[in-house]
Chain A
Amino acid sequence: MLRIGVFVCHCGNNIAGRVRVEDVAKAAADFPGVLYSTTSMYMCSSEGQGLITDMIKKHNLTKIVVASCSPNLHEKTFRGLAEKNGLNYYSVEIANIREQVSWVHDDIDKATEKAIDIVRMAVAKVSHGRPLKKRSVKVTKRALVIGGGIAGIQAALDLADAGFKVTMVEKEPTIGGKMAMFDKTFPTLDCSMCILTPKMVQTRDHENIELLTFSEVEELDGHVGEFNAKIRKKTRYVDEELCIGCGACEKVCPVKTESTFNQGLVKRKAIYFDFPQAVPKVPRIDNDKCIKCGACAKVCPKKCIRYNQKDEIFKRTFGVVIVATGSEIFDDSAYGEYGYGKIPDVITSLQFERMLVAGGPTDGKVLRPSDGKVPKSVVFIKCVGSRDEKKGYPYCSRVCCMYTAKHVLLLNEHHPGTDIYVFYIDIRSFGKNYEEFVKRVQDETGALYLRGRVSRIFDRDGKLHVFGTDTLTGNQVKVDADMVVLANGLVPAKSTRKIARVLNLSKDTHGWLNELHPKLAPVETATRGVFIAGTCQGPKDIPDAVASGSAAASRAMSILNHSSLELEPTIAHVNQFLCSGCENCFMACPFGAIEMVDYKDPNTKKIRRVAQVIESKCTGCGVCSSVCPVPAIDVSGFSAEDVFVEIEALGKGIRKNDAGIKTNGKKK
């Protein structure tokens, strides 16, 4: 027999200010199956929870309706409470009368009426609902970290140090990410490689870490505790096991081609390392550029060149996934006024950074790409692609103010006496010791910071004519510079966009991966067991990227620590007898969780094709159910019947109100 309790929350004045909660409780008492109804100031408080516990015991309640805030907030609280008191976890329904009623309506009478309707619907649903059982899954104690930049490295090391197995997948031939391109880091001026390489080496040598470089995750399905990944290890044409990284091959290779790692500033060979400290120290043959002359194979002391090597496919199961696929710099060819990226001495910040590196393409000298001369005057332009709704993105990229300050300081160090100009809009030095650093740069270098944007750069007679403004005086200013450095903002890496598709992760309008909650769940995603770290989420500096890597690892550990996990039972099921095999659901499912299988019809004894849910892939989103014409496919807890009884209950309320109008004989 049904014994339903209805508990209506005041939420202080949040609900009670717009809804007469006592009236709601009174009306609910008359609904079929309701044995008890009451109100409380804060139902989520220990007092409110105590009340529910007491009433379950006193009235022997079997089902509960709580009329309160959004189920996103306290559904778990009340379901947990019910379970503790011996009820089925799913015997609690939340009637959302705050976000959907009191916060959005002004008319108290109508709001109360609507609240009563919503509670009636919840009572109907809970009366109809059947107890559901949670699914239990085993947790595979291995983490997948996608991306070997500083955030991914940090996450992998934290997990490995805590005793968990980790597979790191990096798409480039070496780990290190963008940080490996940097010279110094702000504001401490630590040598970037000096602090990064120890972590890279640890990652390579850690007994708990399996490192797959020059590899990409091609497919991923499953759910928390058991994600199945297909990883492609692209061929390097070099035997990774045998190679000792001596570099003899690179020396003899006759091919010269653009070096992406060095931002096109120098040429590299067809067989190459990105940089001397690469991890693993194994070269790669760029097959598009290789002329198959065989010189490398001839000199290799270990005979590890493999022209016939093929891609390898790895299949692995993971309990959790951490995505740390990073960002790249904004492509300034959108800026016609700065030469569409075609004026040789207008360079990107990353090119400038590479020039500063002592062992880099110019041996630490800042040189004009056009003539190889040291520039006597350099202009820095900030916010290129950032804070620009027209040609770039509206957001602030967070790092450019600081790296530009660093660039100014280092330029002055490498070439003292350089005439330096910095065009900025606002100086954003938000971090610890950052503002002090900017002041130091201005004091030490004598660089002229000009508050204004540059409108146009002209290239004539070996000089760059930079037309800008100093908004603080209102003057137009012109600098005849030898070099212009653009402070390109950050955009999501192409690989971040790609991985979002493979993993079905949600992105914001600019392509950054979305966190579950911007304040309270900053490294979680909407998919349980998938975490994000570093700049794939949004622009970050190194300390923030490292912190988010550690945060993601720590959240991952809270799953890996369990041997099994409980999953929501609210997934799709097919009534195969009813299924017509139209394949609508098969086409519509965004997770590939539906397969078509043979089914023997019990009436006709004939075999036909019908849909079947792959439970491990299903997330319970309900798309299949909405496209099914029969309907033969339902999501547990949200079946067509479940929804219809709610609608019916709503209808009853409306009919009752209509009747009321007639008997009273007056208009409302």
Chain B
Amino acid sequence: MEKVLGKNRKSEIKEIEGFIDGLDVSGCYQCGKCTAGCPVAHLMDNPPQRMIRLVQIGAIDEALSSNAYWNCVACGTCSARCPRKVKISELMDGLKSFSIKKKMTPKDRSERNIALFNEIFLNNIRRHGRLFEVELVGMNNVLSGHLLRDTTKAPEMLVHGKLKFIPSNIAKKDMKKIFKNTVEKNDKR
């Protein structure tokens, strides 16, 4: 793919850097230590060090259409070992929220499932204050099409009183306010 380089790349990079606190991609000299230590790089179409390069040359759209950041497990190994103190892990996180803000959906189903899980999770805590686990697993399985995933474990958990069928429903007002002033505010923009 040909990327026409021009001055406008600076504003595009700025947009991403501004979105992620303290990110400065210019420090990266492509040593690849991030990729070397990444537990899930093999699942990514672009390994971490190439994601940074894409941002460096201003190929933001290509970076956003990559599946790399959806596969990132946020373990922080890359940032911890980066010799140039580039916040790679934070970049991956930032790309997730950036793409949500831009209403982009991941191409592949498995990545869509990750996005979906996050949505279900947040919806769950927004309504209940604390995580209502039974609902989370149920909703996730229904919506992701894996109806029976982990259900084999359910009877055992039930016996040990680990599954609760009544949500906590706590701090509802607070939760409503927090979500209104954060995620939902962005949606309106």
Contact = CB atoms under 8 A, between A and B. Distances in A.
Interface of A: 337, 383, 387-392, 425, 451-456, 467-471, 474-477
A467 B47 CA distance: 15
A390 B85 CA distance: 6
Contact of B36 (A389, A390, A467): A467
Contact of B32 (A337, A388, A389, A451): A451
Contacts of A425: 29-31
Interface of B: 29-38, 41-42, 46-47, 49-50, 77, 81-85
A458 to B, nearest CB: 11
A313 to B, nearest CB: 46
A13 to B, nearest CB: 30
Given A425-B29, A452-B33, A454-B36, A476 B47 contact: yes
A391 B41 CA distance: 24
A383 to B, nearest CB: 8
B84 A468 contact: no
28 contacts: A337-B81, A383-B83, A388-B83, A389-B83, A389-B85, A390-B84, A390-B85, A392-B83, A425-B29, A425-B30, A452-B35, A452-B36, A453-B33, A453-B83, A454-B36, A455-B36, A455-B38, A455-B77, A455-B81, A456-B37, A456-B81, A468-B32, A469-B32, A471-B30, A474-B35, A474-B47, A476-B42, A476-B47
Given A452-B32, A453-B31, A390 B37 contact: no
B33 A455 contact: yes
A456 B29 CA distance: 19
- Most chain B CB within 10 A, of A454, A455, A467, A470, is at A455
A517 B34 CA distance: 39
B46 A474 contact: yes
Closest 10 CB pairs of A and B: A455-B37, A455-B36, A452-B32, A388-B83, A469-B32, A471-B32, A453-B33, A469-B36, A453-B31, A469-B35
Nearest to B82: A390
Given A455-B77, A469-B49, A474-B46, A390 B35 contact: no
A468 B31 CA distance: 10
Contacts of A470: 32
Nearest to B30: A471
Contact of A467 (B31, B37, B50, B85): B37
A469 B42 CA distance: 11
Contacts of A391: 83
B177 to A, nearest CB: 39
Residue among B38, B77, B83 with most chain A CB within 10 A = B83
A454 to B, nearest CB: 6
Contacts of A453: 31-33, 36, 83
B41 A454 contact: no
A470 B33 CA distance: 10
Contacts of B42: 476
A337 B37 CA distance: 10
A390 B38 CA distance: 18
A217 B47 CA distance: 54
Given A337-B81, A389-B84, A455-B77, A476 B31 contact: no
A555 B153 CA distance: 82
Contacts of A471: 30-32, 35, 49
Nearest to B53: A471
Given A425-B31, A456-B37, A476-B38, A469 B47 contact: yes
Given A425-B31, A456-B81, A467-B37, 13 more contacts: A387-B29, A425-B29, A452-B31, A454-B36, A455-B77, A456-B37, A467-B36, A469-B49, A471-B30, A471-B35, A475-B47, A476-B36, A476-B41
B46 A468 contact: no
Contacts of B85: 389-390
B82 A454 contact: no
B82 A476 contact: no
A452 B50 CA distance: 12
A470 B82 CA distance: 16
Nearest to A387: B83
Nearest to B79: A390
Contacts of B49: 469, 471, 474
A463 B33 CA distance: 21
A474 B36 contact: no
Contacts of B37: 337, 455-456, 467
A391 B33 CA distance: 13
Contacts of B38: 455, 476
Residue among B29, B31, B50, B83 facing the most chain A CB atoms (10 A cut-off) = B31
A453 B33 CA distance: 5
Nearest to A386: B83
B23 to A, nearest CB: 16
B54 to A, nearest CB: 12
B29 to A, nearest CB: 7
Interface centre among B33, B36, B38, B81 (most CB of A within 10 A): B36
A475 B126 CA distance: 40
Contacts of A456: 36-37, 81
Nearest to B78: A455
Contacts of A467: 36-37
Nearest to A382: B31
A388 B83 CA distance: 4
A467 B38 CA distance: 10
A69 to B, nearest CB: 34
B37 to A, nearest CB: 3
A454 B83 contact: no
Contacts of B84: 389-390
Nearest to A471: B32
B22 to A, nearest CB: 14
Contacts of B47: 469, 474-476
A333 to B, nearest CB: 16
A121 B21 CA distance: 49
Nearest to B50: A474
Contacts of A451: 32
A337 B82 CA distance: 11
Contacts of B81: 337, 390, 455-456
Contacts of B77: 455
Contacts of A390: 81-85
Q: Which of A383, A452, A453 has the most CB of B within 10 A?
A: A453
Q: Which of A388, A390, A425, A469 has the most CB of B within 10 A?
A: A469
A172 B81 CA distance: 37
Nearest to A468: B36
A456 B85 CA distance: 17
Contacts of A387: 29, 83
Contact of A469 (B29, B33, B82): B33
Contacts of A337: 37, 81
A455 B47 CA distance: 14
A635 to B, nearest CB: 44
A199 B49 CA distance: 49
Nearest to B33: A453
B14 to A, nearest CB: 23
A230 B37 CA distance: 53
A470 B36 CA distance: 8
A451 B82 CA distance: 16
Nearest to B27: A389
Nearest to A476: B41
